Structure 1
Amino acid sequence: MAFPILLLCLVSTIVFFASILWRKQNKTLLPPGPIALPIIGHLHLLSPTPHQDFHKLSIRYGPIIHLFLGSVPCVVASTAEAAKEFLKTHETSFSNRPAKTVAVEALTYGFQDFLFAPYGPYWKFLKKLCMSELLGGHMLDMFLPVRMQETRRFIKRVLHKAGEAVDFGGEFMTLSNNIVSRMSVSQTSSENEDEDEEMRKLVADTAELVGKFNISDFIWKNKETGGTRRFKDMLDVLLDIFEDENSEMKLDKDNIKAFIMDILVAGTDTSAVTMEWGMAELINNPRVLEKARHEIDSVIGKSRIVEESDIVNLPYLQAIVKETLRIHPAGPLIFRESSRSDVVCGYNIPAKTRLFINVWAIGRDPIHWESPLEFRPERFIENGPSQSQLDVRGQHYHLIPFGSGTRVCPGTSLALQVVHVNLAVMIQCFQWKVYGNGTVDMEEKSGITLPRAHPIVCVPSPRLNPFPSM
């Protein structure tokens, strides 16, 4: 009897130590990270600005770190090289959005939208529709007169308030929302100041959007009343697909409502926030502001107002927008989720792991950017072709403010057109007086699009005299 017992003990001991060794080896395959607390994991390490917290952790633990947000496993990538591995080399494993949440379900009519839809036939169909029709070159060209009209309305509003203290964050929000609303449903929601203020609140707090903005009634009323518009807006295209029995993918009313909500909220907020950060940097860097004005005056003159077709001839303005997006990316974090287990950079990433690409940290990486915290648009002009040819459309992984890969933002072209021309208008047409020491703070607030903690309030005055007719 002694031998079987001894054998059993020996086998048990071998199994015990083998299991410990197996767990230890598999643990080392995970990216490094701090020790997690029971139940909450690493939630205690995060503030309302998680991109900043992730950046600090990456300095200590490396470019790829492993965290638990509660019980949910997460991986954070904080360098261009790591981002490229996840978004290009292993893209098929990381094309899904994170798991469904209560907030997203409420905002998207039960996950019927495009931004948070899982990677699959429905998402692919909407992506193709965005690139070919809804946000494609033809649609953008068709709505050029609309953007020009809204830019002129924006100028008139600012002129009307000359000499008064103006919240330019709110003005930029109104401008971008009017453009997106007219492209989406052929009318705006800011015909008077009360409606204007309400829409600002709706966009700033999307949780209130579902309750206060009855998109369903608005959409179908628009279709029934018809009109004399010369071309189709985005809603018309979606409704045509809804009514087409032979459509490649059948859309229902919730799909359409959720998609329009995506466009209204995401399209409004990203452009407005970027213009506000750009204005803040120009106020705090008067040398850059004067150089930009000199370029615009030299190319455009003072007898007419800058237009979209002029942007190609304004390289310093383009550099200002790139530099703004580098330091203040429209989306500080890219969210994905692994659909299957994969090995990335030698680390084992299990299925259902949430991935965060820290775009904010990548844009401030001293390995790729000299003096990364300095606002210096010249870096995109003076450092040779390697820098001057950089774009923000996802091909250069140390500058990906709109994401990269399959789920790159389909509204990038529209956002760039709106930001470039209207920031140029502000530079060309107005002087801005800021109270106090003449600068604005650069504190960030929590949000998916990196909003400012405090609005820019300054007094505009016309710079052109006489002011060009509009």
Structure 2
Amino acid sequence: MAEMMHNPDDLLRLQKEITNMVGLDRNVDDSDLNKLPFLKCVVKETLRLHPPFPLLHNETAEDCVVGGYSVPRGSRVMINVFAMGRDAKAWKGADTFRPSRFMPGEGEATGVDFMGGCFAFLPFGSGRRSCPGMALGLYSLELIVVQLAHGFSWVLPDGMKPSDLDMADIFGFTAPRATRLCVGPPHSCRLGLAAARVLEWRWAYTRSSSSSCSLPMVSAGYCLMA
């Protein structure tokens, strides 16, 4: 969301795609995700610039030479996924958030996927030791982003401009933003969709025989944020 608030044209394009494919009379569900190609480009571009783990830890299975350096078998090596995703030799405008680079028929990186075939794009690793939770992680991320973009119109506080956003990361085991994003839905937000989420939960709660019924993770997040 921080990248899209920093690049509002991309947020508007995503919202337009969602409105055209889903409409405004219902919530987006998982069956809609494959109908939203620009959403998938937004997620790819976000993970290119902000991988879940900036460094991947591995161990060499045999002696090898990398860049003229001898690396013995059993050496611990770290792959800098963060730097590879921002390598100017591999990406045009490497430091620029531009989801359209992955858009079929429009960008120059349309063949790049999450399977590890492109070594400049390894947000989930590659090969047998790639992240086993990749499919669930992508599904969750796509659903969260599309719900936030679909359910609300977002504005920066106190007349803040997109160019004023600090997009720096804190480099470490993970790479969170140095400055937290602060946004809010204006009065024109689509409160009907948020209200529908509340009603869905209340209906599920009253139908449940268990008194320990808890809010669904995704839906609850949106309702509470409203």
TM-score interval (norm. to shorter) = 0.7 to 0.9
Show the counterpart of 2:184.
459
Show the counterpart of 1:418.
140
User: Structure 2 length normalisation: TM-score?
Assistant: 0.77
Secondary structure of the corresponding residue to residue 95 of structure 2: coil
Secondary structure of the corresponding residue to residue 180 of structure 2: coil
After superposition, residues 435-454 of structure 1 pair within 5 angstroms as 435-436=157-158, 437-439=160-162, 440-454=165-179
The alpha-carbon distance between structure 1 residues 376 and 385, as it changes in their structure 2 partners (threshold 3 A), is closer
Q: How big is the shift at 1:344?
A: 3.7
Show the counterpart of 1:359.
81
Aligned length: 192
Q: Which one of the candidate residues 337, 346, 349 is aligned to 2:59?
A: 337
Find out whether 1:379 has 2:101 as its counterpart.
yes
Secondary structure of the corresponding residue to residue 388 of structure 1: coil
CA distance in 1, matches of 2:103, 2:94: 16
RMSD: 2.1
Contact 2:59 2:75 in 1 (8 A): yes
Runs of 4+ in 1 over 6 A off after TM superposition: none
Instruction: Note the residue ranges of structure 1 that are not aligned, 5 or more in a row.
Output: 1-278
Secondary structure of the corresponding residue to residue 70 of structure 2: strand
Task: Describe the superposition over 1:300-345 as per-residue Cα deviations: whole angstroms up to 9, x where unpaired.
Answer: 0001111111111100111000010111111211111235433345
Find out whether 1:369 has 2:94 as its counterpart.
no
The share of aligned pairs that are identical, in percent, is 36
After superposition, residues 66-85 of structure 1 pair within 5 angstroms as none
Q: How big is the shift at 1:368?
A: 2.0
Q: How big is the shift at 1:385?
A: 8.4
CA distance in 2, matches of 1:326, 1:456: 19
Secondary structure of the corresponding residue to residue 58 of structure 2: strand
Between Structure 1 and Structure 2, which shows a larger proportion of helix residues? Answer: 1
Show the counterpart of 1:16.
none
The alpha-carbon distance between structure 1 residues 383 and 348, as it changes in their structure 2 partners (threshold 3 A), is farther
Show the counterpart of 2:214.
none
Q: How big is the shift at 1:379?
A: 0.8
Contact 1:444 1:452 in 2 (8 A): yes
Instruction: Note the residue ranges of structure 2 that are not aligned, 5 or more in a row.
Output: 201-226
Show the counterpart of 2:47.
325
Letter aligned with residue 287 of structure 1: D
CA distance in 2, matches of 1:331, 1:368: 20
Secondary structure of the corresponding residue to residue 335 of structure 1: strand
Contact 2:100 2:106 in 1 (8 A): no
Task: Describe the superposition over 1:118-165 as per-residue Cα deviations: whole angstroms up to 9, x where unpaired.
Answer: xxxxxxxxxxxxxxxxxxxxxxxxxxxxxxxxxxxxxxxxxxxxxxxx
CA distance in 2, matches of 1:346, 1:370: 27
CA distance in 1, matches of 2:2, 2:68: 41
CA distance in 1, matches of 2:192, 2:172: 41
CA distance in 1, matches of 2:182, 2:191: 24
Contact 1:402 1:408 in 2 (8 A): yes
CA distance in 2, matches of 1:333, 1:416: 19
Q: How big is the shift at 1:355?
A: 1.0
Contact 1:428 1:463 in 2 (8 A): no
CA distance in 1, matches of 2:122, 2:32: 25
Secondary structure of the corresponding residue to residue 185 of structure 2: strand
Q: How big is the shift at 1:295?
A: 0.3
Contact 1:307 1:421 in 2 (8 A): yes
Task: Describe the superposition over 1:399-435 as per-residue Cα deviations: whole angstroms up to 9, x where unpaired.
Answer: 1111112210000000000000110011011122222
CA distance in 2, matches of 1:383, 1:335: 35
Secondary structure of the corresponding residue to residue 15 of structure 2: helix
After superposition, residues 136-155 of structure 1 pair within 5 angstroms as none
Secondary structure of the corresponding residue to residue 317 of structure 1: helix
After superposition, residues 18-417 of structure 1 pair within 5 angstroms as 279-344=1-66, 346-381=68-103, 387-417=109-139
CA distance in 2, matches of 1:313, 1:389: 18
Task: Describe the superposition over 1:233-292 as per-residue Cα deviations: whole angstroms up to 9, x where unpaired.
Answer: xxxxxxxxxxxxxxxxxxxxxxxxxxxxxxxxxxxxxxxxxxxxxx00010111111011
Q: Which one of the candidate residues 151, 157, 160 is aligned to 1:429?
A: 151
